[in-house]
Structure 1
Amino acid sequence: MKIDKFVLAIIAIVLLAYLFPQLGAKDSEIPLDLIGSIGIALIFFFYGLKLHPDKIKSGLKNWKLHVLVQLSTFLLFPILVLVYKPFITSENQEIIWLAFLFLAALPSTVSSSVVMVSMANGNIPAAIFNASISGLIGIVITPLWMGLFLQQASTDFDLGVIYIKLATEILLPVILGLSLQRFFGKYAAKYNKQLTLFDKSIILLIIYKSFAESFEENVFTSVKIVDLVLIFTIDILLFFVVYSLIGFFSKKLHFNKEDQITAQFCGTKKSLVHGTVFSKILFPSTISTGIILLPLMLFHATQIFIISVIASKLGTREKS
């Protein structure tokens, strides 16, 4: 069986993160966050150039797809984690369970969701809509879910950074691209292959950054190897259960292949950016933030890896 070149690139980038984690550390002299932000903004600008207004209107009318994605993100995920609540027998298990509930209650991540959908030839307008609105819904829903199980005084949320990031990296570039679509749209279509290569490069950067920070901060050695394997296994199982259920419901709702891809890719994503910000606000100092973020970090990196493989494979098919 021929191995996809992009899959090999992902494996290589993870190995690079292991050998040279300092390049992706928070105190690194190489501004990977800035490079990634600029790259994401350019990706969405190019998306805007490639999107015809008529296609956007058509995509946003697909309300069944939007409802399925949001219910999967904010209801299906938490319910699957809540099922295991009665089996908690110790304080340590309680903290790990809270970490998984936190993961389950988070919104989808915008950039990689849409990039992956684009790679797989899915419904890009619907992906942009769902991934973007998910971040806004999560500001309300995520604290509500966690508030049911955390005894903590209410805190004022200062989420201006998220709003600024959403506007500058996603909304404004897309709007700018759309406004210039009639002038430069033909060039975006002509050089679509090169733009796809650029998309994949940014995804590799995100993967490297995610793994490098984990290796640099010794996240993978802060817990027992047995616990780490268990968390990793649960992450994989959680992903595939949600991915399969979304696929099942997509077929029951008679989605075409493009809409099914969008539903499964956007509905299984969880935002590490939102998770990092929320963890500092929602959890008391008595709970280790590192432990709370561990399932999320593993899920984030693993999900990107799995979806990258699936997206790369689907991207080679002929669009219907």
Structure 2
Amino acid sequence: MSLATVEAGLKRFGLDRYMMLLILTVLLATFAPARGDFAAALKPITYWVVALLFFLYGAKLSTATIVSGFANWKLQIGVLLCTFALFPLLGLAIKPMVVQWLPTAIGVGFLYIGCLPSTVQSSIAFTSVSGGNVAGAVCAASISNLVGVILSPLLFAVLIPSGTGYGVDPSAVWKIVQQILLPFAVGQLCRPLLADFLNRYKFPTMIVDRGSILLIVYTAFSAGVVNGIWQVVSPTALLIIIGVCAVLLAIAMAVSVGAGRAAGMPREDLLALFYCGSTKSLATGLPMAGILFAGQDISLVVLPLMVFHLLQLVVCAIISQRMAARLA
């Protein structure tokens, strides 16, 4: 059996190379975590890699696409409501139940998921594979992330209960703007010089996109392993996290589809709402967590986000491939 055959078989279950690399990265951090000087050296590298990622996002994104996407107000409002209204309410409902069985930091992590923006690359890719409104998905995902830079930490600050030991320092918002929004804005300014190159050669952008996430995952979980995360999170606790993430994803997907149908959206817009409205961004969530939860046990807070991200990729990959098969 060839490697290509094995990869094709795994892909039918949503397990592509990126998924396997994410799992291997967690295993690498578990058995060979970054420590001491090596861990300290990774911090500035991670910071600038994330800044480079959002610079490339800005350079690739057509301003005309965002402007034209605003005309489809049902789709844009639908994605924003799912992302920044439905999810925070679900996070608030889930947190009190989760902390009965799991550490408080993990309950905070579920609330944190609710405050994050939508994915960019994966939601657009899944929309495209399914035959959905790609331009609408590009606009919706981009607006979600731009709004999320400011709104996500503010939402979390409002929703997090006092006495949990977790909060948002006002200076954190400015740090997030510096690392994410400013590079994006500079990328937009540089777009006339770089757009043709980035559209012609997509591989460098993909390397930065995937590589930045893998690097952040490795550094976050390395810190967690050094602090004994796997002594706190038992196999039973991990199964509970997976189950709660599955329920959260299922509810978000069901509500997004129901809302889209109730609004009379065409199939193409409904698919864009489904993928953009039910997914959460790891690329934005991890660096933001590094700023918001600096000095705290970040690995426990982002563990639900990691699990949710892997789960959403698997489920969306399977659904999008089935949708593509129907169109064939």
TM-score normalized by structure 1? 0.72
Following superposition of structure 1 onto structure 2, how do residues 142-291 of structure 1 map, counting pairs within 5 Å?
Answer: 142-147=156-161, 150=162, 158-167=169-178, 169-222=179-232, 225-253=235-263, 254=265, 255-266=269-280, 271=285
Q: Which residue of 82, 97, 100 corresponds with 1:93?
A: 100
Note the C-alpha offset of 1:172. 2.4
Note the C-alpha offset of 1:151. 6.2
1:75 and 1:280 map into 2 onto residues whose CA distance is 26
Q: Which residue of 62, 86, 90 corresponds with 1:52?
A: 62
Q: Which residue of 126, 133, 143 corresponds with 1:129?
A: 143
Q: Which runs of 5+ in 1 are unaligned?
A: 282-288
| Maintained 8 Å contact 2:49/2:212 | yes
Root-mean-square deviation (CA), in Å?
Answer: 4.2
Tell me which residue corresponds to 1:104: 111
Tell me which residue corresponds to 2:5: none
Q: Which residue identity does 1:297 align to in structure 2? A: V
2:84 and 2:36 map into 1 onto residues whose CA distance is 30
1:248 and 1:312 map into 2 onto residues whose CA distance is 20
Report the CA distance shift for 1:26/1:66 in structure 2 as closer, same or farther (over 3 A).
farther
Q: Which residue identity does 1:18 align to in structure 2? A: T
Note the C-alpha offset of 1:55. 0.8
| Maintained 8 Å contact 2:76/2:140 | yes
Which range moves more in the overlay, 195-204 or 264-273?
A: 264-273
2:176 and 2:282 map into 1 onto residues whose CA distance is 21
Tell me which residue corresponds to 1:114: 120
1:128 and 1:228 map into 2 onto residues whose CA distance is 32
Q: Which runs of 5+ in 2 are unaligned?
A: 1-7, 11-15, 129-133
SS at 2:160's partner residue? Answer: helix
Report the CA distance shift for 1:273/1:230 in structure 2 as closer, same or farther (over 3 A).
same
| Maintained 8 Å contact 1:18/1:211 | yes
SS at 1:37's partner residue? Answer: helix
Note the C-alpha offset of 1:105. 5.6
Tell me which residue corresponds to 2:131: none
Report the CA distance shift for 1:198/1:99 in structure 2 as closer, same or farther (over 3 A).
closer
| Maintained 8 Å contact 2:46/2:212 | yes
1:265 and 1:310 map into 2 onto residues whose CA distance is 10
| Maintained 8 Å contact 2:256/2:278 | yes
Amino-acid identity (%): 21
Q: Which residue identity does 2:202 align to in structure 1? A: N
Report the CA distance shift for 1:143/1:46 in structure 2 as closer, same or farther (over 3 A).
closer
Note the C-alpha offset of 1:142. 2.7
Q: Which residue identity does 1:220 align to in structure 2? A: W
